[in-house]
């Protein structure tokens, strides 16, 4: 037994002829926070989406707490299996993907009510708890169209947390936000970090990654070029490609 909580072994993924992930290995311990950085098209989203089977791997394995996520099973059993394991994996998208026909409450309670059989009262209590956590309790009966981008993303986080996931995946959760709204979402993520939520965070925000993450992975062209603690990756990276990427990134962001 290792302490590995999330484990990705020899992950490879192709879209047709295009090989997007090449032999990637990654282990994340319980409570660890890992950032994935890298240029556009390097396969960061694909790797994240492989973890919950949104984009299943071509080969390799994904494990969560001793359970293989991407088991090869006959269709019916496979569907049951992924529907089960996905409940343990929260995901937050760049474009929020809130359900526009449901209120904030409806967004948060839909899956817990349907999948965990919560009563209406229990589900309401859960929604209130999660919204309090992200500081949006007063918006509980609003529709998503009436929220700002930052508020939408915080509701999306609350929706994912309501399933009590074991791990949270963030795919550029702040990239679609106006700059002044980024901080409120980062605050929520920092708070999750303090509560020792296991997180894998794809991000372009190096400062944020440096301040909350235990480890940083630099990906390029479908491989993990270099990984280590943020102090090493951001200050004294060994690989030329990492240095280049960070230099260009800093130049572009005026840092």
Partner 1 sequence: MDFELILRVYPFFLEAAWVTIELSVLTTILGLICGALGAAARMSRSAILRAIGATYVSIFRGTPALIQLFIFYFGGPQIGIQLDAFEAGVIGLGVNIGAYMAETMRGAIQSVDKGQTEAARTLGMSRWETMRKVVLPQAMRMMIRPLGVNINALIKGTALVAAISVIELTYTAQRYIGSTYKPFEMFLLSGALYMIIIYVVGQGINWLDRKARIT
Binding site for partner 1 (CB under 8 A): 52, 54, 79, 83-84, 86-87, 89-91, 93, 95, 97-101, 110-111, 114-115, 143, 156, 159-160, 163
Binding interface with Mg ion (CB under 5 A): 45
Judged by CB under 6 A, the residue of 15, 125, 178, 235 near ligand ATP is 15
170 binds, among Mg ion, partner 1, ligand ATP, none (CB under 5 to 8 A by kind): none
121 binds, among Mg ion, partner 1, ligand ATP, none (CB under 5 to 8 A by kind): none
Neighbouring-strand partners of residue 57: none
Which residue, 42 or 52, is less far from ligand ATP as judged by CB? 42
Binding mask 41-80 for ligand ATP (x = CB under 6 A): xxxxxx----------------------------------
Shortest separation between residue 204's beta carbon and ligand ATP, angstroms: 7
| CB within 8 Å of 154: residues ≥ 6 apart | 134, 135, 136, 184, 185, 188
Phi, psi of 137 (to 5 degrees): -55, -35
| CB within 8 Å of 125: residues ≥ 6 apart | none
Nearest Cα neighbor of 28 from 89, 84, 82, 85 is 89
């Amino acid at each position: 037994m290792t302490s590995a909580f999330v484990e990705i072994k020899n992950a490879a993924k192709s879209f047709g002829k295009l090989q997007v992930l090449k032999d990637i290995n990654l282990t994340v311990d319980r409570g660890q926070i890992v950032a994935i950085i890298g240029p556009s098209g390097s396969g960061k989203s694909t790797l994240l989406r492989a973890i919950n089977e949104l984009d299943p791997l071509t080969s390799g394995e994904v494990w969560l707490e001793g359970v293989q996520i991407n088991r090869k099973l006959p269709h019916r059993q496979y569907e049951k299996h992924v529907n089960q394991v996905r409940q343990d994996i929260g995901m937050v998208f760049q474009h929020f993907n809130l359900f526009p026909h449901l209120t904030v409450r409806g967004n948060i309670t839909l899956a817990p009510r349907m999948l965990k059989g919560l009563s209406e009262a229990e589900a309401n209590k859960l929604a209130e708890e999660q919204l309090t956590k992200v500081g949006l309790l007063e918006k509980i009966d609003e529709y998503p169209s009436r929220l700002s981008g930052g508020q939408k993303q915080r509701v999306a986080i609350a929706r994912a947390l309501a399933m009590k996931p074991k791990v949270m995946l963030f795919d550029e959760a702040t990239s679609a936000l106006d700059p002044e709204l980024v901080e409120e979402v980062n605050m929520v993520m920092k708070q999750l970090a303090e509560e020792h939520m296991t997180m894998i965070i794809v991000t372009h925000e190096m400062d944020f990654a440096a301040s909350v993450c235990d480890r940083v992975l630099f990906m390029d062209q479908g491989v993990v070029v270099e990984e280590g603690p943020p102090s090493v990756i951001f200050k004294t990276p060994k690989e030329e490609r990492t240095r280049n990427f960070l230099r260009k990134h800093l130049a572009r962001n005026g840092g």
